[in-house]
Chains A and B, each alone.
Chain A
Amino acid sequence: MSDLKNNTHKIGVYVCDCGSNIAGMVDVPEVVKFASTLPNVAIAREHKYMCSDPGQDTIKKDIKELGLTRVVVSSCSPLMHEPTFRNAVQDAGLNQYLFQMANIREQCSWVTEDRIKATEKAKKLVAAAVERVILHEPLKLKEVAVNPNVLVVGGGIAGIEAALQIANSGKKVYLVEKSPSIGGHMAQLDKTFPTLDCSACILTPKMVQVGRHPNIELMSYSEVTDVSGFVGNFKVKVKKKSKFVEQEKCKACGDCEKECPVERDDEYEMKMKKRKAIYRYFPQAVPNTFLIDKTERPPCKITCPIEQDASGYTALIAQKKYQQAIDLVRKKNPLPIVCSRVCYHPCETACRRGDLDEPISICHLKRFLVDWEMEKPEERYKKPEIKNEREEKVAIIGSGPAGLACAYDLRLLGYQPTIFEELDVVGGMLHTGIPEYRLPKKLLKKEIDRMKDLGIKIKTNTKIGKNFTLGNLKKQGFDAVFIATGAHKGLKMKIPGEELAGVFDGVEFLREVSLGKKMEVGKRVAVIGGGNTAVDVARTVWRLGADEVNIVYRRTIKEMPAAAHEIEETQKEGIKITYLTAPLEIIQKNGKVSGIKCIKMKLGEPDSSGRRRPVPVEGSEHEIKSDMVIAAVSQAPDLSFMDPSLQLKVSKWETLETDPLTMVTNQEGVFAGGDLVTGPATVVEALACGKRAAISIDRYLNNLPLDSKPIIEAGLGRKSKDDIPKIDVKEKYKDKPRKPRMQIPGLSIKERAGNFKEVELSIPEKLALEEASRCLQCGPCVECFECVRVCEAKAVNHSLADQTVELDVGAVVIATGFDTYDPVLAPQYGYKKYDNVLTSMEFERLSHAGGVTGGRILLKNGKEPESVAILHCIGSRDENANEYCSRVCCMYSLKFAHLVKEKTPAKVYELYIDMRSFGKGYEEFYKRLMHEGVLFVRGKGAEITDVVENEEEKGKLIVKCEDTLLGFVRRIPVDMVILSTGLQPQKDVAEVTRLFTIQRSRDGFFLEKHPKLAPVATATDGVFLAGACQGPKDIPDSVAQGAGAAANVIAMIDKGVVSIEPIVSYIDPEKCAGCKLCLTLCPYNAIEFNQEKKVSQVQEALCKGCGTCVASCPSGVPIQYGFRDEQILAEIEGALESETLAVNK
C-alpha cells in the first residue's frame, strides 16, 4: 500500500457549478482556488456542467495532456454520476477506480443556508476526496454471466405486461402470484376510465396469453420465501401452496362446488357474495382451476389419534347426508359404536367453537349417526369390500381395541388375521373394563360380529404361554404377529392391610362384574384413585347397592385424570369424592376391613407430569369408616406370558418397547401396541396403535422397509398442539351468534339405581341437526370429501402437499401492486355502520355484471337509489391517513358517476377537493360528466350520519361537508355513499422489501433508483419495479412501467454479462491468525477456512463487499478494495484538516 503513496501524483480536481444548483450557494471559484493549493493537485477547474460532454471532455483532455494520475470531481452525489465520470476517466486511458467524487450538491449546497459555510464545507469535502484518491489503486470490474431466466413477482396488469414482453423476447419467465389467479385488481373492476371499456374484456385476453405462453411458467397461489445471490444470478425459493386439486385434471366443471357444504366470504367479490371452501377465484381465472381453502385446518380432526373426520361428518349431518356421514366415520374408525359412547374426545377439547362459547358435541353426533345406522342396519350398514385377497396369516394376541383395529385394517387389505383371546369374551377392556351402563355388551357384540363376518377369525379361551407360545406361531404358518394384551394388572397401593378380606383391586372387580359374577358389595365402600377406573368402579358399586360410595383422591378435582363428564355424572349419582386425602393403612376389625387410616394432603410443586405434587399435612391423620375398599390407583401390563426365548425388550414401566410409530418390537415380524405398549390409555389411542401396526405389517409382508412416513401421512402420527394453525377465534367469529351445545338426553338418577341400563339415550334428529349447524367450519374445508365423490375427472386430492421450488434467475421484476385504504379507520364515514356506505372496490363489484346484483345498482333493501354521493380522497391527501394523492380516485369517481347515471335515474353528487384529470382523454371525460348532469361539490365530505334534522332527510344518509365555492356548510341527503378509497402499499410490503433488499420511500411504496431517470430500477442491481407497488398508478401507467421494466431486463440479459464492483475483501494468508471470527460474521458465508494453511479465505464470487469482516478482524488483516482502511482514514484526515493541508503547500 505504501508504494501507492510514495509516488508523486498529478491530481485533477473539477468543481461543478451545476448551473446554479451548486454555484448558487457555494463560491465555486474559491473552492477551485483552494483545491489548487492542495498537495499533489496538478490542475483545478470550474465547469458549468461537469456531466455534460464538454465537461467530461475537459477531464479526458487533461488526463492525456497533463498526464493526470488521479481525478476528483466535486459535484453531485456519486449515486447519481459516479458511473458517468468513471467512464470518462476510463475512456482517457486511466483506470476508472483512480477517481473519487465529492458530493457538494445533495450534501452541501442544497442543505446549507449560509454561502460562506457552504463554501467552507465544500472545501472540506474536496480536501477529503483529494486525500483519499491519492491512496486509490487500479481495480478491475468483475464481469459475470447473466442467467437469462426472469422472475416476475405479482400477476396484476403490470406483472402480466412485463412477463409477456420478456417472454416474447424468448426468455423464460417465472410468474409468481400470491392469489389463486392472475389478474390483480384490474380483474375486479367493472369498466375502465376514461374509455369505459370493460375491464375484463381487455384484461382476460392478456391473462389467457400468459396462461398459454410457452415461455411463461405461471405459479399461482405461490409466494417467494427466500432470495439469495446477486444480479445476474439470483437463487429464489418459491412456496407453491397446495390447491388440493390437480391442475392438469381439473376441467373447471364446478360439480364439486355444488356439493361443498362450507360457505365463506368471497374475497374476489369484496365479501359481498359467498363462495364455497372448494372454489374458483373467478370464472375467467387463469389458471382456470378450482382449489380448496384449507388455511386453518379443523383442529378436531388434527388432534384425533386416528384423524377421524369429525368436522366432515358434522357438516354432512347438518346437510342431512347421514349415509355419507356414517360412511365417512366408518372409513377410518373400525369401532364407531364403541367410540360414540366411550371416547374421551380430544376433538372437543380442541374445538375452536370452545373459544367462542362451547365446543361442538362431536362425540354425541357420532352417537346420533350410529343410532341412525342401527335403525335400519340392513340398508344403512355397508359391509366393506375386500378387493384383493391375500394368503398371508397374521396372529393378533388380544381382542381389545388395538387388536381389533389391527385385524380390521389388515383384513381390509386382504390378509388373514386371527385373534387369540385368553377369556371367553371378546373385546378386552371394552368388555371387562367399561361397565354395561356406558357401553352395552350387545352393542360391542354387534361390532365384533361384523368383524367376524368380514372374515376375521377369533379364537377365545386361548392364552398365550399356555395354549401356544409366540415362538411356535411362526411354525403354525403365521407371517407376522401383533401383540396387544393390554394392561389388566391392577397396581397395589403399597400400604399395610391390602391383603385383608374386603380389599379389592379395581380392574379385577370390574372384570368380575362384567363376566357376570355376583359381587357382594359393602354398605360403605371406599374407592381409592382418581382415574376413569376409579369412577367406573364407584358407579358400578353404587348400582350394585352400596349405601355410601366414597372416592378418595389425593389431589383436587382439577388434577383428576378421569373424564370431566364422567366425574359430573358420578357426583349426580350421589357418590362422594374426598379430595386431598391419601390412604396410609387399611384398618381391620376381626380380620375384616373396618376403615382406612388417611392423611390430609396439600398441593406442592408440580411434578414431571406438570401436575402439582401432593404433600402430606402433618398431624392430619384421620379415619374413613368403610367395610369395603377398592383400589383403582393404576394398571400395568401383565407380562407373565412372555416367552423368555423371544427376548422382547421391556421398559422400566413394565411395558413393551416398540418404535413409537411403526410399532415394531426389537424382534423382526413382531409388532405390539395398545396399553401393553403405552401403559393404560384410551380406546382411540389403542385404535391408533392397531392401525399403525396394520400399515407396518402390510409393508413388512410386502418386503418394504418399515417407515413412519406412510403412518404420518395416514394421519396416525403423534399429535401436538403446534400442528393446529393458531387463529384468534373470538375476533374472527365475533359476528357469529352464540349458542350453547346440546343437552344430551339421559336416564334420571332414579332410573339408574340398581341396574346397568345405558345412561345416555339416543339423540333426536332435530337436536343433532341444530348441534351440527353450530360448527364454525373453521378449516374452512371440513374434509367431508363430497368433492372427491362427485369429481368425475378425479382431480380433487386432499393429500396434495405444499411444494417449495428453487429457481435460478438473472433478474427480478417486482409488481406486487397495492392495497386499498380501509375506511373503518375513519369512523366518521360510517363504513360498516350504515348498510349503504360502500368502498370503491365494493361498488366495482356491485356494478359488475358478474357481481352480487348482476350489475344492477341497488341498495341493501333491493331498491334503486334516488341519490348517490361519491366522496373523494378517503385515505388520500389526508394527514391522518396518507399524505399523497392516490392519482386514480378522481377519475374512477367520475366513472362511477357515469355508471350510476347510466343505470339509474339517481342524482349523483361528487364531493371533491381538487379535480385531477391529468391523463390522455381524462379532462375531456370530466367535461362530459359535467354535461351528464353530475352535481359537483367542491369540499371534502366530513361526515356521514343518519341523524335527521327535517322531513326531507328522513330515511336518508346525510353527507355533511363544506362547500368551499359557496362558502357554507351543507347537508346532502342521499341513499347511497361511495367512498373513493385511496391506494396504499400492500400489507406484506415490509417482508418483500427485506426479501429483495430493496428500499421503500416515505409513502411506504418501493423506492425507485431515481425518481425521474430510473423509475423502474431499484438500488439493488437486477431488481426492477413495475406498477403500483412503486406508487399509485392507473392502468396505462402500470402497463407502461411493466413494459419499461421488461425493456430493462431484456437489455441486461441480452448483454450477457453484468459488471460487478470489485470492492470485495481480501485476507492476506501470511498475516491471518486463523481465529475464524470473520467466518461467523460474514452474512453470505463467503469466507471459508483453509484447513491446510489454517487461515481464512474470502471466496470472491460470494463476497458482496459489505466490509464487515474488515472492521471486525482482531488483527486487522482483511482489506476491502476501494474501501481500504488507509483510504477512509485519509478521507477523515482530509475532511478535518483541510486548512492545514492547504497551508502546507
Chain B
Amino acid sequence: MNQKGFEPKIIGFLCTWCSYTGADMAGTSRMKYPSNIVIVRVMCSGRIDPTFVLKAFQDGADGVLIAGCHPGDCHYINGNMKTMRRYPLMVKLLEGFGIEKERIRLEWVSAAEGEKFSTVVKDFTAKVKKIGPLNWSVQAGVSKEASSPGLKEARL
C-alpha cells in the first residue's frame, strides 16, 4: 500500500476535566501537532462507550485516542479506572474484527500536560500513518446504511 501522502483520520475521546483541558493547554501554549485528530468531548472517560470507538472506525477513522485523568485524579473519583478495565476488552474485540491494536490508544493526560498531549498526538498520528488506511467498512463489506442503525442499538 502506498502510504505516501496518506493522512489518517483520528478521533480523540477526551474527558472534560483533565484531558480536554490539557488539550486546551496545548493550544494556549501554541504547541503544534498534526491536524489529523478531531476531538470529541465527554464528561468523563468512563462515559466512553465501546460503541463510540466502533462507530469511529466504521465511519472511516484510522485511529482512536482515548484520554482521561491520571489514575487517582479522576474528577468523578474513579471513572477512569472503569475505562482502564474496559480498554483491554475493547482492544481484544477490535482485534477480532481485524483492527490492529496499534490503531487504538489509551493515555492519561492531566490538565497541566499540554506538552504531553501534543507529544502523544504526534506519536500516535505517525504510528497510524505507518500502518496505513483502515477502510474498515469497505473491508468488512458492510455498507454504512446496513450497519448504522444496528450499531446504534447493539451494545457490547
- Scoring B residues 1 to 38 as 1 if CB is less than 8 Å from chain A, else 0, what string do you get? 00000000101000011101101101110111101001
Give B42-93 interface residues, CB cut-off 8 Å to A. 42-44, 46-52, 55-56, 59-61, 72-79, 82, 86
The CA of A1001 and the CA of B74, in the complex, are separated in Å by 15
Q: In the complex the two chains form, what is the Cα distance from A120 to B118 in whole Å?
A: 19
Q: Determine which residue in B42, B72, B86, B152 has the highest number of CB atoms from chain A within 10 A of its CB, and name it.
A: B42
Determine whether A861 belongs to the interface, using a CB cutoff of 8 Å to chain B: no
Whether B111 and A107, one on each chain, are in contact in the complex, defined by CB atoms closer than 8 angstroms, is no
Q: Is the CB of B112 within 8 A of A999?
A: yes
Q: Which one, B16, B28, B33, contacts A106 given CB within 8 A?
A: B28
- Among A103, A1110, A1120, point to the contact of B39 (Cβ < 8 A): A103
Q: A113-B32, A128-B38, A1137-B59 are in contact. Are A1114 and B21 (CB under 8 A)?
A: no
Cβ–Cβ contact A1135 & B44, under 8 A = no
- Of B31, B48, B113, which contacts A111 at CB under 8 A? B31
List residues of chain B with CB within 8 A of the CB of A1019: 17, 21, 75, 111
| Interface flag for A804 (CB, 8 Å) | no
A105 on interface, CB distance cutoff 8 Å: yes
Q: Complex Cα distance A100/B21, Å?
A: 17
Closest to B48 in A: A1111
A77 touches B (CB below 8 Å): yes
Is A725 an interface residue, CB under 8 A from the partner?
A: no
Chain A residues, Cβ within 8 Å of B56: 1132, 1136
Which of A117, A128, A1000, A1128 is within 8 Å of B52, CB to CB? A1128
A1114 CB contacts on chain B under 8 angstroms: 155
**Pairwise interchain contact B47-A1107, C-beta atoms closer than 8 A:** yes
List the B side residues contacting A1081 at CB < 8 Å.
46, 82
Find out whether the CB atom of B32 lies under 8 angstroms from the CB atom of A1128.
no
Q: How far is the CA of A111 from the CA of B34 in the complex (A)?
A: 8
CB neighbours of A1111 from chain B (8 A): 46-50, 82, 86
Known: A118-B35, A121-B35, A1136-B60. A1106 touches B21 (CB 8 A): no
Q: How many interface residues does A have (CB within 8 Å)? A: 60
Nearest CB in chain A to that of B118: its residue:
A111
Report if A107-B79 is in contact (Cβ < 8 Å); known contacts: A1110-B49, A1111-B46, A1135-B40.
Answer: no
Q: Determine if B51 and A1129 form an interchain contact, defined as CB atoms under 8 angstroms apart.
A: yes
Residues from chain B with a CB closer than 8 A to the CB of A1113 are 155
A1125 to B154, CA, bound (A): 12
| Distance of B63 from chain A, by nearest CB (Å) | 12
A1002 and B113 contact, Cβ closer than 8 Å, known pairs A110-B27, A1019-B21: yes
Are A1123 and B43 in contact (CB-based, < 8 A)?
A: yes
Q: Is A369 an interface residue (CB 8 A)?
A: no
A255 at the interface (CB under 8 A from B): no
B145 close to A (CB within 8 Å): no
Known contacts A77-B24, A114-B35, A1019-B21, A1128 near B40 by CB under 8 Å: yes
Q: A1107-B46, A1135-B40 are in contact. Are A994 and B72 (CB under 8 A)?
A: yes
CB neighbours (8 Å) of A77 from chain B are 20, 24, 27
In the complex, A125→B11 CA distance in Å?
11
Inter-chain contact B55/A1132, CB cutoff 8 Å: yes
- Look across to chain B and name the residue whose beta carbon is closest to the beta carbon of A1005: B112
* Smallest Cβ-Cβ distance to A1113: which chain B residue: B155
Once A1000-B110, A1104-B76, A1106-B79 are accepted as A-B contacts, the answer to whether A78 and B41 lie under 8 Å apart by CB is yes
Contact digits for B105-131, partner A, Cβ 8 Å, 1 yes 0 no: 000001111010010000000000000
- Tell me whether A111 and B59 are in contact (CB under 8 A): no
Please tell me if the beta carbons of B47 and A999 are within 8 angstroms of each other in the complex: no
* A120:B38 contact, CB within 8 angstroms: no
Binding site for A on B (CB under 8 A): 9, 11, 16-18, 20-21, 23-24, 26-28, 30-33, 35, 38-44, 46-52, 55-56, 59-61, 72-79, 82, 86, 110-113, 115, 118, 151-153, 155
Binding site for B on A (CB under 8 A): 77-80, 103, 105-108, 110-114, 117-118, 120-121, 124-125, 128, 990, 993-994, 997, 999-1002, 1007, 1019-1020, 1063, 1081, 1083-1084, 1104-1108, 1110-1116, 1120, 1123, 1125-1126, 1128-1129, 1131-1133, 1135-1137
Known contacts A1111-B47, A1131-B40, A1136-B56; 17 additional CB pairs below 8 A are A77-B24, A79-B16, A80-B24, A106-B23, A106-B24, A106-B26, A117-B35, A999-B73, A1001-B112, A1019-B111, A1107-B44, A1108-B44, A1112-B82, A1123-B47, A1128-B40, A1128-B49, A1136-B9
